Amino acid sequence: MNGILGTVSPCQIAVICKDVEETKKKYAQFLGMEVPPTSDGGPYEITGCRYMGEPALTSSCRMAFFEVGNIQLEIIEPYGGKSTWQDFLDETGGGIHHYAYQVEDIEESIKACETFGMKLTQYGKYNDASGAYAYLDARGQLGCFIELLCTFKK
């Protein structure tokens, strides 16, 4: 059985933090790995980020990624504007935010999650426009957020 998304295997776990530079150094030390580079979430002109259905013109984040076995560990520091990341940081002070799943059809997967009772909170394109992401609030159903990742076919 492959659940409502067609897969049972998450591809990513993400942690929201106040300082990506400090946090990624601590994770690197803990994991015994090199400190990864930091990347930016990208400008609105590329991402077209929408938060709670409205354009999120100033919303972005800094990110660092660790490859740990079959799962990517993402460290996110939100900055600028309202976002699901900033809300979570403000509400909790940081911590594990979401599990991400790679999907074939992001629109179909969003509908399946909404039917399951999740609420779409944020949607946008990758910082290089090669794919899209969607965050769904599944705290009532699963105790966390779920992120859908979809790489566009070339």
In three-state form (DSSP H/G/I as H, E/B as E, the rest C), the secondary structure along 78-90 is EECCCCHHHHHHH
pLDDT above 70: residue 1: no
Q: Where do the H-state alpha helices sit in 32-144?
A: 44-47, 84-92, 106-115, 139-142
CA 133 from chain centre, in angstroms, equals: 7
The model's confidence at residue 107, banded by pLDDT at 50, 70 and 90, is very high
Instruction: State the chain's mean pLDDT as an integer.
Output: 94
Which amino acid appears at position 28 of this protein? A
How far is 91 from 54, CA to CA, in rounded Å? Answer: 21
Q: What is the pLDDT of residues 108-127, one digit of tens each?
A: 999 999 999 999 999 999 98
pLDDT, mean of residues 42-68 = 93
